[in-house]
Amino acid sequence: MSTPNPGVAVAARAVGDDTPATEAIVTAGRRRRGASRAQRRSRRVGLLFALPGLLIYAGVVLWPMIQSIQYSFYKWDGVTASVWVGVQNYINFFTDPVLRSTLGNVLVLLIFFALLPIVLGLLSAALITRSRQPGMAVYRWIFFLPQVMTSVVIALLFKRMYAPEGPINEALRALGLDALTKNWLGDFTWALPAVGLIGTWVTFGFCMVLFISGAAAISPDLYEAARMDGAGPFREFFSVTLPGLRGQIAVALTLTITAALRAFDLIWITTRGGPGTSTQTPAVALYKAAFVNPDVGQAAAIGVVMAALCLVIALVITRVSEKE
């Protein structure tokens, strides 16, 4: 009779062990080998099922990503022969005044796309979950509506509102505040905040609904314990609600920050990056480099930098949110 380990059987006989003990060792060894074979077989079957999706992902995502990295080391207009320039395209992105200004514009947009929506979403979630007044479902639906509207419709809507003869200026004139009227999207100072407020309106509803769903999962016992300890609304919010929404805040931060970094459609439809470069973002600069004044290598370098930046931000937020 074969054994999984002849040395074990010899040792068993040496100490006077009987045949049933040896057979038990053999049976256990066979079971382990059978379990390991079954696990390997299940892994292979799982990989076969996942293989079509992996091939599609590699063809649609990974291969274009590799090509973009390759193009970023060349100067190429998409037609003539490419010229190797090494990391010069990356250096240009951080040294060219126009391209470097896009990073400053993104920092401003982060306030409107991420900070304001999250703060307003937390405040709304705290008020709604605490008061539970009738009609709150309609309130949530109204503020979540931008999430189901296309960005083109939203951009055209706000472009009309911000127009010199649009509703915003008409309302100011009706209030006798003619001095405050302006071409909001054509003003060097106000164009970027005006576009940013569109982002606030779009992402606020998403953050609010996300935080409301997270607050509903917090145990009511925690709120009762806080109230028994004499906690008021503010202490209750910072001691119970805010820690309980850590996961939802991490998701909201990741999505809103990456949305600010990738902002293109709202800006292109409303201002096309103008006036001048006051509302130009890396995504708009990438589009112009790729299609307006073709420099495929520079466009690829911008795309690679922004993709890496989004990945780093997502990883940092995830690591921080997982810490106790």
Task: Label the pairing between strands 74-75 and 83-84.
Answer: antiparallel
In whole angstroms, give the CA distance from residue 86 to residue 74: 7
Q: Could you give the CA distance from residue 254 to residue 263 in angstroms, rounded to a whole number?
A: 14
pLDDT at 232: 81
pLDDT recorded at residue 324? 54
CA-based R_g, the chain, Å: 30
Say which CATH architecture domain 90-322 belongs to.
Answer: Orthogonal Bundle (1.10)
Q: For the chain, percent helix, then strand, then coil, each to nearest 5?
A: 75, 0, 20
Note the pTM of the prediction, 2 decimals.
Answer: 0.80
Q: Which pLDDT does position 1 carry in this prediction? A: 42
Quote the pLDDT of residue 16.
Answer: 47
Q: Give the per-residue pLDDT at 22.
A: 67
First to last CA, the chain: 55
Specify whether the CB–CB gap between 140 and 121 falls below 8 A: no
pLDDT attached to residue 11: 44
**CA distance to 107, 149, 295, per residue, from 291 (Å):** 25, 27, 8
How far apart CA 257 and CA 116 sit, in angstroms, is 12
Here the tokens at position 66 are 């590799």
Closest CA to 130 of 6, 241, 262: 241
Beta strands (DSSP E) in the chain are: 74-75, 83-84
**Cβ atoms within 10 Å of 142's Cβ, excluding its own:** 10
232-249 pLDDT per residue, tens: 888 888 888 888 899 999
Among all chains, which residue has been given the structure tokens 């995830």? 318
Are 281 and 263 a contacting pair, CB within 8 Å? yes
Dihedral angle sign, alpha carbons of residues 284, 288, 290, 295: negative
The tokens for 171 are 């309302």
Low-confidence ranges of the chain (pLDDT < 50): 1-17
DSSP one-letter string for 237-274: IIIIIHHHTHHHHHHHHHHHHHHHHT--HHHHHHTTT-
How many Cβ atoms are within 10 Å of 223's Cβ, its own excluded?
19
- The residue extents of the domains of the chain are 6-71, 90-322
Instruction: Give CA–CA dist 293/313, Å, rounded.
Output: 30
Separate counts of helices (H) and strands (E) for the chain = 17, 2
Task: Say what the pLDDT of residue 254 is.
Answer: 93
pLDDT at 63: 92
